[in-house]
Structure 1
Amino acid sequence: MTILSVNANYGGSTHDSFVWRNSLVHTHMEQNYLEGDRSSWLLGDSGYPQQPWLMTPFRNTVANTPQRRYDNKLGLARNTVERCIGLLKMRFRCLAKERVLRYNPTKAGRIVNACCVLHNMCIGANIQMDQQPQHDPELPAEEIGVFPPRVRQEGITHRNLIVNMYFQ
């Protein structure tokens, strides 16, 4: 539940896949992949593009198939991320109310960064929250179109290999 990376350079209406494409973490993961790393992956929801280093769910899977089993396990693993984001928004209601910080973009970004640091301090001090987090749905990354089809196809190939190896 600790936040390892935050990018508060873009407004709340900016799609996750655009922020991801312009992040240092994306650059790092892509560079590792290009240098031959085929064993490191991040997990994303359908708001992110399938890439060789970023595993996302399938769409419209059928019950009792390897793809559905993969999606179920991916969802379980990603649950921690969703809980973390929900907890952050619960601790710092300014991040959730109306989804708008009423400050100039630079100050709003500093507030987001400060909230993330304070959240990590709360985690480190074992300060608990009593409420359950909420999740905001995202548009699928394919509908945004900011990634080359070749990279998406390589990601689909890697995801299919994982499904065939572990979920048959």
Structure 2
Amino acid sequence: MQLCNSDDLGPSQQTISRVIKETLDALSSRPILAQFINFPITPQETQRKKIEFMQIAGFPGVIGVIDGKHIRITSPKEFAAEYVNRKRYHSINTLIVFDAKYKVIDIVANWPGSAHDARILNERGLNRFVFGRGIVPDECHLLGDSGYPSKKWLLTPYIRPQPGPQSNYNRCHKKTRSVVERGIAKLKRRFHVSALQQRCARLLKYMYVHNICKDRNIGIPAGEDHNNGEEDDAQQPLEPPLQPAAWPREGILYRDQFVNLHFNNDE
């Protein structure tokens, strides 16, 4: 892309590469960054997110959808084995949270590929500080897949749902959580996968630029999805789901109560 820009605009490829880096660095100061990647914590912000998600499939109380994405990297010089994921290539396991408008509201991009999604979440500030300390208003939830443990603030699908409320819940859960899968696909189209592979240190800046594009209504470039023939990790998770016995019992009981309250109908 830089070579094409060089041909079209005149500056050398090296100059274009340098300008891109300088621009990203300039835009990524903490005060500016906080304007474009921020997790909703106020009653006004969380209520707006709930309404936006509710419009997708009628799932109440959702303020974000979460998933992990493995970004391929070259073998690091140190601790290379820790970066080998379940599919036997080196990667960084990146945790991403999207809102209903496909904007990134939280991201963690510093864990090796061998780390399980649930471990990353457990060590992340969302678990320890945001939800753990009650900073977010009550009855606010994230939706995650079965690779995450059930929590009072993290709702996961039933592995073997019973007909009725559990099936209703799973159906709405799947449709609502698909936002994160489509969001990751949009990122792959906006930024070449090869660029993400080679520039993982800049991943946070790419997410920031993506949010700016969403705010400014800058569309995703047309063309093929540059996945280099790789399988979509969002559709085929790299980590095996945690076994139900390993889940916190409190989260499972809360999910059952939530389902019986909100999905106990014949639809």
Please tell me the TM-score bracket, short chain as reference.
Answer: 0.7 to 0.9
Q: Relative contact order (alpha carbons < 8 A, sep ≥ 6): 1 or 2 greater?
A: 1
Q: Of the candidates 228, 242, 245, which is equivalent to residue 142 of structure 1?
A: 242
Task: Give the alignment of 1:80-119 within 5 angstroms.
Answer: 80-94=179-193, 101-102=197-198, 108=200, 110-119=201-210
Q: 1:45 aligns with which of 145, 160, 173?
A: 145
Question: In the comparison of the two structures, how many residue pairs are matched?
Answer: 153
Q: For the Cα contact (< 8 Å) 1:30–1:53, is it kept in 2?
A: no
Tell me how far 1:13 sits from its aligned partner: 4.4
Larger Rg: 2
**Residue from 215, 237, 240 that aligns with 1:124:** 215
How far did residue 38 of structure 1 move?
Answer: 4.6
Residues in 2 aligned to 1:17 and 1:136: alpha-carbon distance in whole angstroms: 17
Structure 1's unaligned 5+ residue stretches are none
Structure with greater strand share of residues: 2
Shift of 1:88: 1.1
Instruction: Report the RMSD for the aligned CA atoms in angstroms.
Output: 3.0
Q: Equivalent residue of 1:79, what SS?
A: helix
Percent of aligned positions that are identical? 28
TM-score, normalised relative to structure 1: 0.76
Higher helix share: 1
Aligned pairs (5 A) from 1:145-160: 149=246, 152-160=248-256
How many Å apart are 1:126 and its aligned residue? 1.2
Measured in 2, the distance between the counterparts of 1:132 and 1:152 equals 42
TM-score, normalised via structure 2 length: 0.50
In the alignment, structure 2 segments of 5+ residues that lack a partner are 1-101, 226-231
